[in-house]
Amino acid sequence: MLTLTDSAVSAIRTLTSQPDQPGDTGLRIMAQGDGGASSFQLALVDGPAAGDQVVEEGGARVFVEAAAAEILDDKALDAQVNEQGDLAFRISEQADEA
């Protein structure tokens, strides 16, 4: 199952706690392209779609489309903000737990 880094949790909570967002807003991840494509579309949505895998950590909610969930199994979602203040999410391998 996809996990969230602390920075991803913080970024998602910031995005979903805006006054114009409904209470059950989360970040939805959808696979793009054919078959084992490695590109994803992310969007803020009001709640999960039927069949979405729901990942909740530290108050952040992520809804992973079924096709994307297969690709993202055992991966981690991270967030980084660059010097200009732009937010970027990236997928990486989960760190081995010792």
**Tens digits of residue pLDDT in 14-71:** 999 988 888 789 999 998 876 555 689 999 999 999 999 999 999 999 999 998 998 8
Q: Which two tokens stand for residue 52?
A: 């979405």
The arithmetic mean of pLDDT across residues 72-98, rounded, is 85
Whole-model pTM?
A: 0.87
Distances (CA, A) of 1 to 7, 19, 26, 65: 18, 30, 17, 12
Phi then psi for residue 71, to 5 deg, are: -70, -35
Who has greater pLDDT, 17 or 96?
17
Residues 6+ apart with CB under 8 A from 23: none
pLDDT interval class at 86 (50, 70, 90) = very high
pLDDT of amino acid 51: 96
**Pairing mode, strands 75-81 and 3-4:** parallel
- Nearest Cα neighbor of 41 from 10, 71, 86, 9 is 71
Domains annotated on the chain, with CATH: 3-93 (2.60.300.12)
